[in-house]
Amino acid sequence: MKKLEIIIKPGVFEKIKAVLTELGVHGLNYSEIRGFGRQRGHKEVYRGTIMQVDCLPKIKVEVVVHDEAFEKVVDAVVSTVRTGQVGDGKIFVSDVADAVRIRTGERGDMAL
Amino acid sequence: MNASDTAFVIICAAMVMVMTPALALFYGGLVRSRNVLSTHMHSYASLGLITVLWVLVGYTLAFGEDVGGIVGNLAYVFMRGVEGEAAPAAAQLPHTVFMAFQCMFAVLTVALISGAYAERMRFSAMLLFSGLWLIFVYAPMAHWVWGGGWMAQMGAVDFAGGAVVHMASAAAALACAKALGPRVSLESGVVPNNLPLTLLGGGLLWFGWFGFNAGSALVAGTLAGHALATTHVASACGILGWMLVEWKRTGKPTTLGAISGALAGLVAITPAAGFVGILPAMLTGFVGGIVCYGGVLLKGKLGYDDALDVVGIHGLGGTWGALATGLFASASVNEVNGLFFGNPHQLWVQFVSVVGTWVFVFVASRILLYIVDAAVGLRVAPEAEFTGLDLSEHNERGYAL
């Protein structure tokens, strides 16, 4: 099992959700986060005072998928979100040691 | 007494009253969300406290018979001899109407100061300071200018309160900012919590200002109409002036800049509204927008934390407006000529009234602040400031989102 942390612009979350559902992903969670990468932030001006806002709002989607589905999911996300501009986002991938479905006690791939 | 003038001034008084809740919205939108209610409360507390003090003693100290050019006597203390009579200062109006109209000015002026101490002043200290300030600073100031005191005797003119309302609140604001010191965690920047609220409040202030300036004619006639027109065009030109310099300096025009420019134009025209022609009024407003933009940048250079720019807008705008009256006043509008109409002396007395206002109000406010600090402490504890005054001073939250 692999966990994907997909960091994207807020506007594309619904598209990602639709694509993941289409690929048979049964669950995900997301959070509204702030941060910066190469895009950095923007300038805001209040009564002549210039403020550099570095951390922009982003969405982080967390999803755990079967090893064999993993490449397909990554490709689908990338092709859905990519615009070629800085700020498109990132995907961090990590191995997941185990999973437990609390209702039944199922473990591993069965629990997804 | 005269029915049409009375009706006119009653409506104007109600319009000036709306300016204080409008100011609450204007200021409330500019602070951080943890202080939105406490900032509103400053205005509503002024409506409560200042109204009562005005009726009991403030009015008579401002408009009672002159005592040595300094203050009014106690003829009208506790409203004695006011009900049912014509106003001595304006025989066309019932005394109660004149008193109530002037009351709205006092309430607004005290509320204006709150822009300087927003986000950090203890509420009890705010109440005590406001009450003392009305009696020891506002009432004499109003007397000097409108009640027959030394500024009026000298020939200085202030149509609707450039000195009494705007310069006075700004000099008090400067004293507050210096006495309190800067807010904590300023380095991370202050982003206004709700600019649409500020824009709504600013728009309502513009509306109320017609009552403020046109109503100051106290007669429903040509002069009131003239003041309405000068007020509107000055505000419009204030928007353009501020927008222009802001666009040039930081690259984009902002909505906060537009509404700040409108207010700058309104402040600048306040002392001049019934003395200058329409075209000079446009220039007064336009320059007002530019001067006040410079004024708000000043606090960064001079290092005082006037949170919502009372000094930058009301102080510089009011000062410019008082001097502009000395430049552009024309007897074809209302009795007085300024420098450009052959009377340089008018500019001189306007200048003296500006200096007199700033010095008196700043020093007196500073003394009152020492007293209030010793009595109850001016500032909330740093933890309370981090939590926000809404919770620490009022047990409420503005937004439960």
Calculate what percentage of chain A has a pLDDT beyond 90: 76
Instruction: Please identify every stretch of chain B with a pLDDT value under 70, giving residue numbers as ranges.
Output: none
What is the pLDDT at residue A40?
80
Q: Is B191–A44 a contact, with Cβ atoms under 8 angstroms apart? A: yes
Task: Determine contact: A51 vs chain B, CB below 8 A.
Answer: yes
CB contact under 8 A, A45 and B250: yes
- Higher-confidence residue of A23 and B189: namely A23
Position A53 scores a pLDDT of 86
CATH of range A2-111; options 3.30.70.120, 3.40.50.2020, 1.10.260.40, 3.40.50.1950: 3.30.70.120
Interchain proximity A48–B192, CB inside 8 Å: no
Chain B residues with beta carbon closer than 8 angstroms to that of A42: none
- Residues sharing a CB contact under 8 Å with residue B171, sequence separation 6 or more, in sequence order: B315, B357, B358, B361, B362, B365
Distances (CA, A) of B382 to B301, B389, B397: 25, 11, 18
All structural domains of chain B, each given as residue ranges with its CATH number in brackets, are 3-394 (1.10.3430.10)
**DSSP code, position B83:** T
Q: How confident is the model at residue B400, as a pLDDT?
A: 87
Confidence (pLDDT) at B235: 98
Interface of B with A (CB under 8 A): 189-192, 246, 249-252, 254, 256-257, 260, 293, 296-297, 300, 309, 312
Mean pLDDT across A53-66: 93
Length of chain B, please? 401
pTM: 0.91
Residue B339 is predicted with a pLDDT of 95
pLDDT of residue B300: 85
Using the predicted structure, report yes or no on whether residue A6 has a pLDDT greater than 90. Answer: yes
Q: Give which of B325, B329, B345, B344 is closest to B267, Cα–Cα.
A: B325
Cross-chain Cβ contact A51/B191 below 8 Å = yes
CB atoms within 10 A of CB B183: 18
Residue type at position A85:
Q
Do B293 and A51 make contact, defined as CB atoms within 8 angstroms? no
Tell me if ipTM is over 0.85: no
Phi, psi of A107 (to 5 degrees): -120, 165
Handedness of CA B324, B220, B231, B313 (dihedral sign): positive
Neighbours of B345 (CB within 10 A): 13
| H-run or E-run covering A63 | strand A56-65
- Predicted confidence at residue B54, as pLDDT, reads 98
